[in-house]
Amino acid sequence: MGKKVTYERWINLFLPDGWHEREEMGFVLLEKDGWPGMVQLSFIEREEISLPPADAARMLLEDTLEERDIPFPREAVKVEDRGNMAVAMIDYTFNDKDAPAHWRIWFMVDGTRALLAAYVSNPEQEIPYLAEATSIVADIEFIPSTNA
C-alpha cells in the first residue's frame, strides 16, 4: 500500500511498503531495511530562473558532478522536457578496479526549484534495488509553485 509524504511547498513523495524517510541537515534519505544503499533527496532554490527547466536541469546535473570530481561522459546525460518542468538524469557505471560504482542521479527542475535525487550503488549489488529506487523517483510530484 505504501504512504504519501508531503514536503511543504516542494514535493509529494510516494513510498512503497517497507520504506521510510529520514530528514538530515539539508536533505532527505529514503531507506529500506536490508537495502544495500539509500536514495538521497536534496532541495534547491534556483538562483538562475531565466533558464528554461530543461537547460537548468542539464546544467545543475553536470555542474554537480564536476564539483564532486565524478568522471562522467556528457553524452550519458539525458533530459526529458515536460514543459513547465524537466528531468535530467545520468545512468553511468564507473569501472574503477578498486571501487566500481554505478550512479543514477536525477535533477528535477521547475521554474524556481530543483530537486536532486541520487542513488549510488555497487554495480554487482544493484538488482532489483536500482529499479525500485527509479520507480520511487519517477513518482515524485512537484507541488505547484506559487512563485512560478
148 within some domain? no
147 within some domain? no
Q: Classify strands 11-15 and 27-32 as parallel, antiparallel or unpaired.
A: unpaired
45 within some domain? yes
77 within some domain? yes
122 within some domain? yes
- pLDDT tens per residue, range 12-23: 999 999 999 998
Q: What span, in angstroms and rounded, lies between the C-alpha atoms of 83 and 61?
A: 18
Name the grid cell of 112.
524556481
What are the DSSP E strand ranges found in the chain?
Answer: 3-7, 11-15, 19-24, 27-32, 39-45, 77-81, 86-94, 101-109, 113-121, 141-142
Query: Which residue range forms the structural domain that includes residue 10?
Result: 3-142
Number of compact structural domains in the chain: 1
- pLDDT tens per residue, range 116-147: 999 888 777 767 888 888 899 999 999 987 65
27 within some domain? yes
CATH number at residue 71: 3.40.1000.10
pTM for this entry: 0.85
